[in-house]
Structure 1
Amino acid sequence: MNHAMFYCFRNAFLILYRKERRPVLVLAVTMLLSIPIMPLEFILVQSFIDQIGAWTASDSMGSILMAVVWIGVLMFVNNIVLGVPVPLAMTRLNEVGTLEEQRMIVEKTSKLPLLSIESATVKDLRERAVQVSIYEVYHTGLQILQLSLQLSLLMLLILQFGQWIPVVTVVAVAILLSYVSGKSAASLEHLQRAQASRRRMIRYYADLMTERSSAKEVRMFGLGSLFMNRWNALYQKQSKDRIRVVRASEIRKFGPELLLAVIAGLLIALVILLPGSKQMTSGDFALLYLALTTVLSQLPELINQVTTMKRHAMKWQDFRAYLDLEEDPCIRENDIHVEKGACNLQLCVQDIWFRYPDSEVDSIQGISFTVPPGCRVALVGENGSGKSTLVKLILGLYPPNAGEITWLNTREGSKEHVTGSASISAVFQDFTRLHLTVRENVGLGNVGVMAHDVMLLDSLETAGSKFTNLEMQLGVPFGGIDPSGGEWQKIATARAILRDASFIVFDEPTAALDPQAEKAAFEQFIQLTEGRSALLITHRLGAAKLADVILVMQEGRIVEQGTHDELMLLNGEYRRMFDVQASWYV
């Protein structure tokens, strides 16, 4: 094995060994102990044949029977003693390895910055990373080691008879075939990498045709056939590309494999003509024949395992590349906890800039503002003005390219930097609909109080939700009920309320509500943010009037700032948007 193959084999061994030692050791020990059994069987066969050839009626059968007994003992040891534990260990290691590789990828994904999770490049890398099999890497490495040592012993037996020509010839052809097979394996794995994005698209079309969330529109607009045709076209393209590469690989290997087959036949036929053959006994011929034919039959298997290991090594590079991605430094335990309900959290945004990867323009351009303790701020602007991006920056979901966002805990005239998000809560427009119980949907906002029914019910009531059965399952996929969009939003609001944070972000909190519920939601906003700092992102400028300060965004900048009355007097962007919305009600 080369360095890359040895590296992934060693790491697969260490991962499995740390998780469950017994099956790792059982598989390794049984496979290694089986190595000398085949050469020993051949030697016993040699002895048996020679004894049969020299036996006469007056001779004892004891030595012949003893050779037969020893052959039987070796077969019992190989097939029963060493053979039975192997499938059990393999099954267990397959389970452990599959669970561990999935755990490592999921855990890593949970620690990545939001920008990485949203990146198509990272998604393609993850698609390639999940192709790795820790168990297969370990098992293939053991098979290479077993076959290599076993073939080495058999070739030593052949060399004992002075038959160096077959050994040299077989090794030379094996090196050639290994080189060609390695090139073929690399071609196949490069294709596998290149097809990662297309595989994701194939799954996406399959999800569109099968998921409940898209079923209504697929049926309403008759899109089933269109999506099916696209799915089929992508699949056929994948298949054709793979067939092309496999065909080229097999053609490339045809010459060396044919050469090996021809040489194998010639070597077996010419054994009796090689130097020293006249001095060999029948048992010697049998041993030489068995050893040579076994080497010739197992050599392609060894080459195949080495080729497979090379592909595993390439997959392992993607696996490690994904696990080595830079993690989000903000995902950690809180260093400072602000007293619950205290109105002492201040947000300072200083000249921040942000540009999405692969974009040519800045989405956020030199924004600065301060939200003092207990202040309600409304953020308004047309679609595409940068509101959602700014909120993600404020919450630490995106890192700014320049500038600084600081959370300060102001106590008795002093200021302390606050890290983590224990004192910050948010209700997003695209909130998560958790297909869990009502208790879990709300309680995950503050896991420490999930068992406190009174606190959970108070949060639901404050959010305006009608749910009182905390054990009710939500989500049709798991046999639960499917609340309306507005009710889901109230549950998400209850989750945010339970956190009892000093700073609350409301991202379009009335997007899924009817006019009456919308009015109640804004009244709730006033109630919930009493004595707290809050940021309200909204398209409804009537709601913005509730804020102490309004920030108006346009093309990534804050172009206006002030109260509702002050901004109306400016006759600027805010006045224009307000008049446009007001015209719908006149």
Structure 2
Amino acid sequence: MISYKAIVKYMMSGQVKYMLSSLALGIGLSLISGYSLILTKRLVDEFVDARGIADLAFILLAILLIKLLQVALQHTNMYVEQLVSNKTTQRLNTLLADYVRPKTITAIETPAYRNEIGYLRNAIQTFSRLIPSLSSISNQLLLLGTYSVVIFNFNKMVVFVLLATLLPTFFFENKRSKLTEKFSQSTIQLQRESGSVYDVLITPDYQKEVLLFQTKTFLYNKWLKSSNELIQTTLRFKLKEVKARMLMSSIGPIRYVLIQFFLIASFIKGALSIGEYVSIGVAVTALEASMNSIVINVGVLKQASLIKNKLKDFLAHYQFSRNEEQPKIGSIESISLVDLNFSYPARKELTLEAINLDISLGEIIVIAGSNGSGKSTLGKVILGLHEVGENSLLYNGIDSARLNRESIYNNMSAVNQDYIKYPFSLKENVAFGPVEEAELRRRYGGPSFDLLPEVDYDARLGNEFMGSQQLSGGQWQRIAIARALYANRPFLVLDEATASLDPQAEISLLNHIIHQRKGLTTILITHQLYMGQYADKIVFMDKGKIGGIGTHEELYRSVPEYKLMFDEKMSEGAVPA
């Protein structure tokens, strides 16, 4: 399991030179700031003593150079901190992407997961400030030490007042950090709801229905409602924070009066000159700024610690594992489902119930049934994508829970109903890597089963980016099929994979796939019962259960629900005679 120490070590890797640069800049700033105070004292004292204009001009010129150097160092340090923050953000995103490796999709296809991953992605921006905050704290401590020494030499009580009155701010920032993280977690769903409706309102993908069904007003009002709820929730939280900050800020005037009292008393006693009084006033102001900066950055460290705990809980809950210790399976020869029950995390009722099914390598199987009968879920279970009960899903007779998941997936390929339209080139959409155009054309460009559209193979597809080439739904589906075939796995699940093709093209393509995959297992999930003609056996699903297994003739004779559905399809003309 990932540790906080490992996260920090990963973030710091390769950034030590930037941190050392920031530290060096901080040391430089503290030295010239101390010297600036000395020059300020000299300027005021010599002005009071009516020294010559040449002396005053020389001191002013020195102060000008010092101030310009301060500005240069401050902005250089800001640049270095921004650079570190950007690199840290990238490394944290890399870390999250690397560790988020779900074994199955069961737990992550939930609103809870979407909320938590959304929170963590937002939290990365806070966490990315960890290293800059550590750097800033070290730099501000150097300045604080410089100013404290200067002030302490003239009036010890001023330093005591500063420290005593800033302590409550530390406790406040610690409490505020906890409340802020709690608020962020509690409002992430509201943020997602508001954002998702707004996306529907303005993004191109939804506009055809927005225009056709004239839903602009409905969507606008729905977004406005969720947006207002988020604003009101945020304002209530911020109002509490503002009240607390006003109370904390009231300490400032008290601190100012106390410090002025001790400084004026020292001046009256003759312990301070005018120059010393002015320079100490400047030092006090700078010291307050440094201490406030330290307090704020300590709050960032506290937030980072809270986020770290959330990240650890997230990874533990979803059982992400970078290196599974389970034994790997080689070539899968058989799949068995034994009294398998399955339900989605957010549902109480079973989606699949008492499923018993044996699949052997080389079989052609059609899983048929009406919408909502559990066909697609069964397909995903067969692929190993869902968590199921012990000894209910076996590969080569071995419980799936005892096997390395990646080795299972190395045997599987699929075209799901919700296949992805990647905004990549045609080559990348099919092969996810380098491949020769001639090889793709040879494998998937036959005259009767052409899966590849006539586009530039290196051009980006889709309509999200400039220069992209848009495709039809049927073309995208062909590419998804080519992708599944390119993987060349022993088990292939096609879930309504040819729904966007015309009937003749569909039959031609299925014949080609079955011919090319001889000796391998192809599972067709469909509500089109005529596909049963390709199958060694048909698995008929009915309300989450297997209503029957057999050939078309056997099911037509023995399963009334199958007969009824087939006859209805025949009357609709959906089943070729």
Coarse TM-score class (shorter-chain normalised): 0.7 to 0.9
Q: Is the 8 A contact 1:330 1:396 kept in 2?
A: no
Indicate the larger mover: 328-337 or 195-204: 328-337
Percent sequence identity is 21
Which of the numbers 130, 133, 148 marks the counterpart of 1:137?
130
- Alpha-carbon shift at residue 105 of structure 1 (Å): 3.3
Match of 1:516 in 2: 504
Q: Is 2:342 aligned against 1:354?
A: yes
- Name the Cα RMSD after superposition: 3.8
Question: 1:454 is matched with which residue: 416, 439, 444?
Answer: 439
1:505-562, CA deviations, whole angstroms, 9 ceiling, x for partnerless residues? 1212332223333333443344244332221211111212321112222333323222
Bigger CA drift: 458-467 or 429-438?
458-467
Question: Could you say which residue in structure 1 is the equivalent of 2:401?
Answer: none
Cα 1:102–1:516 change in 2 (3 A) is same
* Structure 2 length-normalised TM: 0.84
* Alignment match, 1:42: 37
Residue of structure 2 aligned with 1:422, choices 399, 405, 410: 410
Aligned counterpart for 1:115 among listed residues 99, 106, 111:
106
Q: Secondary structure at the match of 1:369?
A: strand
Q: Distance in 2 between matches of 1:330 and 1:156?
A: 54
The one of 336, 347, 372 aligned to 1:384: 372
What is the total number of aligned residue pairs between the two structures? Answer: 560
Amino acid at match of 1:118: E
Note closer, same or farther for the CA distance 1:199–1:147 as it changes in structure 2 (3 Å cut): same
- Partner residue in 1 for 2:553: 565
Q: What secondary structure sits across from 2:534 in the alignment?
A: coil
For 2:64 and 2:79, the matched residues in 1 are separated by 24
Q: In the alignment, what sits opposite 2:117?
A: 126
Give SS of 1:347's match.
Answer: strand
Query: Which residue in 1 is equivalent to 2:84?
Result: 93
Other-structure match for 2:225: 233
Measured at CA, do residues 334 and 439 of structure 1 come closer, stay the same or move farther in structure 2, by a change above 3 Å? Answer: farther
Q: What displacement does 1:319 show? A: 4.8
- The aligned residue for residue 463 of structure 2 is 476
Counterpart secondary structure, 1:35: helix
| Corresponding position of 1:24 | 19
Quickly say closer, same or farther: Cα 1:34–1:316, change in 2 above 3 A.
farther
Match of 1:247 in 2: 239
C-alpha distance in structure 2 between counterparts of 1:500 and 1:255, whole Å: 68
> Secondary structure at 2:113's aligned position in 1?
helix
Judged with a 3 Å threshold, the aligned counterparts in structure 2 of structure 1 residues 468 and 266 are, in CA distance, closer, same or farther, namely closer
Residue in 2 that maps onto 1:365: 353
Q: For 1:475 and 1:408, how far apart are their aligned partners in 2?
A: 41
What's the CA shift for 1:128? 1.4
The 8 Å contact of residues 197 and 223 in structure 2, kept in 1 or not, is answered as yes
User: What is the match of residue 451 of structure 2?
Assistant: 465
State the distance in 2 between where 1:525 and 1:260 align. 77
SS in 1 for 2:129: helix
Moved more, 549-558 or 211-220: 549-558
2:205 is matched with which residue?
Answer: 213
Q: Secondary structure at the match of 2:547?
A: strand
**What are the residue-to-residue correspondences of 1:62-81 with 2, within 5 Å?**
75=67, 78-80=70-72
Is 1:496 aligned to 2:484, yes or no?
yes
| CA distance in 1 between partners of 2:255 and 2:273 (Å) | 24
Change in 2 beyond 3 A, CA 1:135/1:438? closer
SS state at 2:489 partner: coil
For residue 420 of structure 2, the aligned residue among 385, 408, 432 is: 432
1:399 and 1:467, CA in 2 relative to 1: closer, same or farther beyond 3 A? same
* Contact kept? 2:451, 2:481, Cα under 8 Å: no
The residue type equivalent to 2:463 in the other structure is V
Q: What corresponds to 1:413 in structure 2?
A: none
Q: Which residue of 1 aligns with 2:263?
A: 271
Counterpart of 1:341 in structure 2 is: none
- Distance in 1, matches of 2:323 and 2:240, equals 49
- The answer on 1:103 being equivalent to 2:86 is no
CA contact (8 A) 1:198 1:234 kept: yes
Task: Tell me whether 1:374 sits opposite 2:362 in the alignment.
Answer: yes
CA distance in 2, matches of 1:433, 1:551: 30
Structure 2: which amino acid aligns with 1:128?
Answer: Y
**CA distance in structure 2 between the partners assigned to 1:276 and 1:455 by the alignment:** 92
In the TM superposition, what is the alpha-carbon distance from 1:261 to its structure 2 partner? 0.8
**1:280, distance to aligned residue in structure 2 (A):** 3.9
Is the 8 Å Cα contact of residues 444 and 452 (structure 2) preserved in structure 1? no
Give the corresponding residue for 1:190.
Answer: 182
Q: Distance in 2 between matches of 1:51 and 1:476?
A: 72
Distance 1:468 1:235, change over 3 A: closer
The aligned residue for residue 202 of structure 1 is: 194
Gaps of 5+ in 1: 1-6, 339-343, 410-415
Residues 239 and 112 of structure 1: CA distance in aligned 2, closer, same or farther (over 3 Å): farther
Cα deviation, residue 53, structure 1: 7.0
Flag structure 2 segments of 5+ consecutive residues without an equivalent.
398-403
Residue number among 539, 561, 584 corresponding to 2:572 in the alignment:
584
Structure 2 CA distance for partners of 1:396 and 1:12, relative to 1, 3 Å:
closer
Paired residues of 1:48 and 1:67 also in contact (CA < 8 A): yes
Shift of 1:197: 1.0
Q: Tell me which moved more, 146-155 or 545-554.
A: 146-155
Q: CA deviation at 1:234?
A: 1.9
Conservation of the 8 A alpha-carbon contact between 2:84 and 2:131: no
